């Protein structure tokens, strides 16, 4: 090796030692990487070494070295220490760099799933482009313009209907809970905020009208109860007066019998008093009958109040069950329509505009014994060996 080449190699070694941690993000070496090892003034030890399945590399004179999970600086120090300990070199200068990274694997809703060569700074967006872009394998066929228009129209109509049903569910749940204001807004996709606000305003008006009707019915039945209580009170007072009058008349009749026996009162007068006493007793019995009917009417009114409340809650629960069933059906319809729209390369946004669909990317990262899974954004940095699973979710809430 010429002096100029040796100087160049040393300069490269210094630059790589300084720049590598910033450039690679201190990513550890793993199985499948290829390391370039340069030992200055000792070319016999320089080579490219593959990291095998056991996480080891082979070095002349050193044999097998465990490197998986270590950063390049640690591997460089490990090699330098091993060369000194085995008396192979006294003050070795070692450069370690990654000659070839483990590939990134892209699968799922892409045109060409498989391995993508890793370069520092690679993002999911770039990896998807390298894999041929997004694709729905099961639906790779062109849609006619009139079919696209029909799907878009059905999607918007279904989204609006779904927003109505979700608002109805929120209103019924609010009414069942006894609240007067709808707090939960429908999480509608494909419907503008202004439209959702209008739908909620309509459901709020229905809620207020139903609550007003229920209050009116309850108020009417409460007034009936109050009137029946008043009638019972009057009948009881009247019965007390009649009972007192009957007691007084009974005493007068006893006195009249004594007078008739002494000849001091004519018998027809006694008979007239007996007839009056009989009429008074009949009036008392009639009063008690009126009181019994009033108590019966009061109990009926109480039953109607409770029965009205129960029937109202039953009706509300049945309405809620029906609304939830309709919501599930509409969500299923939206999933199918959204899948058809994705086939055209479009998606319906929350403000009813059309836009390309956004994929959901799941990242599988790490060695076998410490694998982790997370979701990524399109411009997040990747690492060598990452596995990307790309999904074009057809779920309404995707």
Residue 181 lies in a domain: yes
- 303: tokens are 């039953």
Residue 331 confidence (pLDDT) above 60: yes
Same domain, 232 and 265: yes
Question: Does residue 140 fall inside a structural domain?
Answer: no
Cα gap 210→393, rounded to integer Å: 40
Compute CA distances 34 → 11, 15, 24, 47, 97, whole Å: 22, 20, 15, 10, 9
| Residues 47/99, Cβ–Cβ less than 8 Å | no
* pLDDT greater than 60 at residue 219: yes
Total domains in the fold of the chain: 3
Environment class of 175 (CB within 10 Å of its CB; exposed 0-12, middle 13-18, buried 19+) = buried
**Are 157 and 93 within one domain?**
no
Domain-embedded: residue 169:
yes
pTM above 0.85, yes or no: no
Q: Which of 308, 316, 357, 330 is nearest to 134 (CA)?
A: 357
pLDDT of residue 265: 87
Residue 380 domain flag: yes
45: closest CA among 86, 14, 5? Answer: 86
Query: Which one is predicted more confidently, 7 or 55?
Result: 55
| pLDDT tens digits, one per residue of 181-200 | 887 766 666 788 888 888 88
One domain, residues 195 and 311 = yes
pLDDT score of 349: 54
Mean pLDDT of the chain, nearest integer: 81
Structural domain range at position 369 = 105-134+356-392
SS (H, E, C) the chain: CCHHHHHHHHHHHHHHHHHHHHHHCCCCCCCCCEEEEEECCCHHHCEEEECCCCCEEEECCCEEEECCCCCHHHHHHHHHHHHHHCCCCCCCCEEEEEEECCCEEEEECECCCEEECCCCCCCHHHHHHHCCCECCHHHCCCCCHHHHHHHHHHHHHHHHHHHHHHHHHHHHHHHHHCCCCCCCCCCCCCCCHHHHHHHHHHHHHHHHHHHHHHHHHHHHHHHHHHHHHHHHHHHHHHHHHHHHHHHHHHHHHHHHHHHHHCCCCCHHHHHHHHHHHHHHHHHHHHHHHHHHHHHHHHHHHHHHHHHHHHHHHHHHHHHHHHHHHHHHHHHHHHHHHHHHHHHCCCEECCCCCEECCCCEEEEEECCHHHCEEEEECCCCCCCCCCEEEEECCCCCCC
Same domain, 58 and 166: no
CA distance from start to end of the chain: 61
The answer, yes or no, to whether residue 91 has pLDDT greater than 50, is yes
What does the pLDDT look like over 48-90, one tens digit per residue? 999 998 999 999 988 999 999 899 999 999 999 999 998 888 8
Q: Is the dihedral of CA 82, 88, 90, 91 positive or negative?
A: negative
Residues 110, 225, single domain; the answer is no
Q: Return the CATH number at 197.
A: 1.10.287
Residue 369 confidence (pLDDT) above 80: no
Q: What is the CATH number of the domain that holds 121?
A: 3.10.560.10
Whether residue 185 sits in one domain with residue 122: no
CA distances from 237 to 27, 233, 240, 284 (A): 97, 6, 5, 11
Would you say residue 343 has pLDDT above 70? Answer: no
The answer on 184 and 72 residing in a single domain is no
In a domain, 337, yes or no: yes
Whether the predicted pLDDT of 178 surpasses 80:
yes
In a domain, 363, yes or no: yes
**Would the pLDDT of 317 be above 70?**
yes
pLDDT tens digits along 277-306: 889 888 889 988 998 998 898 898 888 888
pLDDT given for residue 3 in this prediction: 43
Biggest distance spanned by C-alpha atoms of the chain: 168
Query: Would residue 256 count as lying in a domain?
Result: yes
- Range of weakest confidence among 6-10, 199-203, 230-234, 346-350: 6-10
Do 109 and 392 touch, CB atoms closer than 8 A? Answer: yes
pLDDT value at 151 more than 90: no
Q: Report the candidate in 355, 331, 351, 329 with the shortest Cα–Cα distance to residue 190.
A: 351
Question: CATH number of the domain that 83 lies in?
Answer: 3.30.1950.10
Does residue 360 have a pLDDT over 90? no
Q: What is the mean pLDDT of residues 347-366?
A: 66
Instruction: Encode pLDDT of 253-276 as tens digits.
Output: 889 888 888 888 898 988 998 898
In a domain, residue 207? The reply is: yes
- Compute the distance between CA of residue 375 and CA of residue 393 in angstroms, rounded to an integer: 13
pLDDT confidence band for 136 (50 / 70 / 90): low
Question: In the chain, pLDDT over 70 holds for what percent of residues?
Answer: 80
Whole-number pLDDT of residue 20: 34
Is pLDDT of 106 > 90?
yes
Verify that 232 and 119 share a domain, yes or no.
no
Together in a domain, 217 and 71: no
What is the percent of the chain where pLDDT is above 90? 24
Higher pLDDT, 287 or 140: 287
Same domain, 223 and 117: no
Which long-range CB contacts under 8 A does 243-249 form with residues at least 24 apart?
A: 243/284, 245/280, 246/277, 246/280, 246/281, 246/284, 249/273, 249/276, 249/277, 249/280
Q: Does the pLDDT at position 128 exceed 50?
A: yes
- Whether 86 and 154 map to the same domain: the answer is no
15: number of CA atoms within 13 Å, CB side? Answer: 6
Quick one: pLDDT at residue 65? 93
Do both 261 and 338 map to the same domain?
A: yes
Q: Given a cut of 50, is residue 327 above it in pLDDT?
A: yes
How many residues can be counted in the chain?
A: 398
Average pLDDT of the segment spanning 352-358? 57
Residue 398 has a pLDDT of 38
What tokens appear for 212 in the block? 């007003």
């Amino acid at each position: 090796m010429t002096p100029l080449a040796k100087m160049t190699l040393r300069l490269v070694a210094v630059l790589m030692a300084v720049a590598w941690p910033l450039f690679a993000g201190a990513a550890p070496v793993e199985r499948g990487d290829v390391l370039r090892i340069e030992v200055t003034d000792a070319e016999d030890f320089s080579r490219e070494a593959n990291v095998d399945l056991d996480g080891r590399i082979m070095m002349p004179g050193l044999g097998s070295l465990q490197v998986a999970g270590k950063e390049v600086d640690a591997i460089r120090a490990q090699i330098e220490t091993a060369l000194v300990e085995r008396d192979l070199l006294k003050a070795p200068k070692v450069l370690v760099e990654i000659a070839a990274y483990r590939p990134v694997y892209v699968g799922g809703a892409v045109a060409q799933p498989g391995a993508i060569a890793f370069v520092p700074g690679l993002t999911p967006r770039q990896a998807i482009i390298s894999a041929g872009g997004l694709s729905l394998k099961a639906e790779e066929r062109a849609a006619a313009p009139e079919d696209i228009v029909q799907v878009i129209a059905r999607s918007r109509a279904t989204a609006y209907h779904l927003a109505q049903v979700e608002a109805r569910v929120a209103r019924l749940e609010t009414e069942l809970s006894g609240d007067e204001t709808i707090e939960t807004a429908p999480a509608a996709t494909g419907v503008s905020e202004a439209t959702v606000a209008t739908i909620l305003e309509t459901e709020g008006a229905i809620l207020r009208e139903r609550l007003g009707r229920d209050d009116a019915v309850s108020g009417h039945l409460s007034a009936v109860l109050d009137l029946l209580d008043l009638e019972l009170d009057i009948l009881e007072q009247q019965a007390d007066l009649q009972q007192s009058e009957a007691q007084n008349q009974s005493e007068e009749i006893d006195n009249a019998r004594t007078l008739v026996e002494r000849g001091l009162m004519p018998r027809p007068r006694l008979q007239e008093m007996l007839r009056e006493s009989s009429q008074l007793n009949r009036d008392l019995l009639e009063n008690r009958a009126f009181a019994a009917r009033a108590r019966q009417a009061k109990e009926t009114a109480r039953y109607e109040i409770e029965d009205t409340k129960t029937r109202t809650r039953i009706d509300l629960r049945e309405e809620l069950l029906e609304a939830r069933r309709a919501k599930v059906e509409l969500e299923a319809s939206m999933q199918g329509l959204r899948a058809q729209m994705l086939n055209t390369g479009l998606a319906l946004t929350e403000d009813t505009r059309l836009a390309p669909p956004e994929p959901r990317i799941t990242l599988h990262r790490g060695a076998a014994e410490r694998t982790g899974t997370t979701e990524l954004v399109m411009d997040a940095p990747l690492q060598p060996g990452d596995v990307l699973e790309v999904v074009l979710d057809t779920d309404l809430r995707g």
